[in-house]
């Protein structure tokens, strides 16, 4: 199909990328974040309590109840609307991407390079996070009073989160062969109904796409045409849904500020700072050099080119919800060919979770230190490797890492009762950190896509 290759003349910008006399979508999203934050602060300070300027809400609980009933559903509606398109988008993107690559030998080389970049950046990020935590050690300054307060406040939510950890633990337990068996779906239709089984969908899409390259071209053509049509329809649907992003983001941010406020943010400021520093260091010390050396781009130009991608991921806290935007922007702004974008980016949205790996490493060290548990040096490598594995299994949706974090903590030797309290302790900050690690995740996906595209281009160019 002609759309896979380069076209003569300038490529027209999509309607959402440039509007006549209007604002860019990402600008509207940022405005939505600011509006949500300001409204939450005003409600907390001026409208809540008997001594408020106007006593609209009797207390903090009344404000939260109002938000959960009338504000939060707007954000959830937006997130769910985006996520419902993820499975068909992932399946059609990967299957058509595999077919477009043609020679299965090229696919094997491409897949090997992609996974190698994914695993290398994740490992380097985890090592960097470990060194930063050991240098700063934020858990040593959290008071017992603050710990007990947060644990009590989020105990119910923590119980809900950890209740699903048993399934996650069985999903990734056993030998390598047993894990591989667990990745093969018995019923692909059932796997497509759950975002927790997205890795199974990807494996099936890979196999399906490869099979299309091995059958007669005439028989494969109508199947590919249908998949291409579904893929384009999903992208168009998400373009329409993204028009709701500013409103959904405003609602989500309103609830973050209204629920947790400044007191909780101050109590866990150092822990949050370490995570943010580690994420920023990963961008500067790991991804930026790769962009410069392997992709041949200036890092600042790269970040500017994909600003719509990382702003969308930051505001939605979902690499899965950002996937359509990531695919479109990398093709249009970074000149990544459609077959490579269709393979690398859906795969990255599932298994390339650098930010999530970094977060898990720091969170486990933090919980262990707060409760006075000394991790052995040998447990550091175990923590890094298990965090990488659990990040692969994390659903690319808000809060998807929390159940798997339970497994990581238990694996490195933190007692289960403390694990539950530890998750309750950090749960209050998870939404904010989720936004930041999701942004790093999609930057890593885009980085890998550009690197693979450049490596493939160099291989195709005769020396």
432 located within any domain:
yes
Query: Which tokens sit at 376?
Result: 């052995």
Cβ neighbours of residue 142 under 8 Å, at least 6 residues apart? 267, 268, 270, 271, 370
Residue 101's pLDDT is what? 62
Report the chain's terminal Cα–Cα distance, integer Å: 28
48 DSSP assignment: B
Domain count, the chain: 1
Assess if residue 5 is contained within a domain: no
Backbone angles phi, psi at 307, to 5 degrees: -60, -35
157 by DSSP, 3-state: which?
A: helix
Q: Check if the beta carbon of residue 449 is closer than 8 Å to that of residue 340.
A: yes
Q: DSSP assignment, residue 413? A: T
Question: Cα separation of 18 and 11, whole Å?
Answer: 13
- DSSP secondary structure letter of residue 371: T
Q: Does 11 map to a domain?
A: no
pLDDT computed for residue 419 by the predictor = 76
Q: What is the structure's pLDDT at 4?
A: 38
Q: Looking at the domain assignment, is residue 17 inside a domain?
A: no
Helix (H) / strand (E) containing 401: none
Torsion of CA 363, 367, 370, 374, to 10 degrees: -110
Please report whether residue 9 resides in a domain: no
Distance of CA 112 to the CA centre of its chain: 22
- b/e burial code for range 381-392 (CB count within 10 A of at least 16 → b): eebbebbbbbbb
Q: Write phi, then psi, for 138 (nearest 5 degrees).
A: -70, -25
> Containing domain of residue 340, as a range?
24-45+60-458
pLDDT at position 230: 92
* Residue 423: inside a domain: yes
CATH code of the domain containing 95:
1.10.3860.10
Contact predicate 270/136, CB 8 Å:
yes
Q: How high is the pLDDT of residue 286?
A: 95
- The residue behind tokens 């991608």 is 309
Domain membership flag for residue 4? no
364-370-375-377 Cα dihedral, nearest 10 degrees: 80
Q: Helix, strand, or coil here: 29?
A: helix
Extract the residue ranges of the chain whose pLDDT is less than 70: 1-21, 26, 100-107, 142-176, 179, 194-196, 198-199, 260-268, 392-404, 420, 424, 427-428, 460-463
Residue 15 lies in a domain: no
Q: Which two tokens stand for residue 180?
A: 């591989």
Helix and strand counts by DSSP (H, E) for the chain: 23, 0
For the stretch 275-318, pLDDT in tens is: 999 999 999 999 999 999 988 889 999 999 999 999 888 887 77
Q: DSSP letter at 394? A: S
Q: Quick one: pLDDT at residue 463?
A: 52
Going through 220-327 in order, the beta strands assigned E by DSSP cover: none
């Amino acid at each position: 199909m002609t759309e896979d290759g380069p076209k003569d003349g300038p490529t027209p910008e999509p309607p959402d990328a440039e509007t006549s006399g209007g604002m860019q979508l990402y600008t509207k999203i940022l405005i939505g974040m600011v509006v949500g934050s300001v409204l939450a602060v005003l409600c907390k300070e001026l409208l809540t309590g008997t001594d408020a300027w106007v006593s609209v809400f009797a207390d903090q609980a009344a404000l939260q109840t109002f938000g959960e009933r009338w504000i939060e559903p707007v954000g959830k509606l937006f997130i769910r609307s985006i996520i419902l398109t993820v499975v068909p988008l992932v399946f059609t993107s990967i299957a058509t991407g595999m077919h477009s690559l043609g020679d299965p030998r090229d696919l094997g080389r491409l897949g090997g390079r992609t996974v190698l970049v994914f695993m290398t950046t994740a490992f380097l990020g985890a090592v960097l996070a470990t060194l930063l935590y050991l240098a700063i050690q934020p858990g040593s300054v959290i008071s017992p009073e603050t710990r007990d307060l947060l644990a009590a406040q989020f105990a119910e939510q923590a119980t809900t989160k950890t209740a699903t950890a048993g399934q996650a633990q069985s999903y990734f337990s056993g030998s390598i062969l047993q894990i591989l068996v667990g990745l093969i779906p018995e019923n692909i239709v059932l796997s497509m109904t759950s975002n927790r089984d997205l890795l199974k969908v990807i494996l099936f899409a890979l196999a399906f796409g490869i099979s299309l390259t091995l059958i007669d071209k005439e028989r494969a053509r109508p199947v590919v045409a249908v998949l291409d049509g579904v893929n384009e329809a999903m992208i168009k649907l998400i373009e329409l849904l993204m028009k709701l992003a500013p409103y959904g983001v405003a609602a989500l941010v309103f609830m973050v500020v209204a629920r947790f406020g400044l007191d909780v943010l101050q109590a866990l400021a150092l822990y949050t700072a370490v995570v943010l520093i580690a994420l920023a260091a990963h961008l500067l010390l790991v991804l930026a050099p790769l962009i410069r050396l392997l992709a041949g781009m200036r890092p600042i130009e790269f970040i500017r080119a994909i600003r719509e991608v990382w702003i969308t991921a930051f505001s939605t806290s979902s690499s899965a919800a950002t996937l359509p935007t990531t695919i479109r922007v990398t093709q249009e702004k970074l000149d990544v060919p459609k077959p490579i974008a269709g393979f690398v980016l859906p795969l990255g949205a599932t298994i390339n979770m650098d930010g999530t790996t970094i977060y898990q490493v720091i969170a486990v060290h933090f919980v262990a230190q707060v409760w006075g548990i000394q991790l052995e040096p040998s447990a550091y490598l175990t923590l890094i490797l298990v965090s990488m594995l659990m990040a692969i299994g994390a659903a690319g949706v808000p809060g998807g890492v929390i159940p798997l974090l339970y497994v990581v903590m238990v694996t490195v030797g933190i007692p289960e009762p403390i694990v539950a309290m530890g998750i309750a302790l950090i749960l209050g900050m998870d939404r904010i950190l989720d936004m930041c690690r999701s942004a790093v995740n999609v930057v890593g996906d885009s980085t890998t896509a550009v690197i693979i595209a450049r490596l493939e281009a160099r291989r195709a160019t005769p020396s």
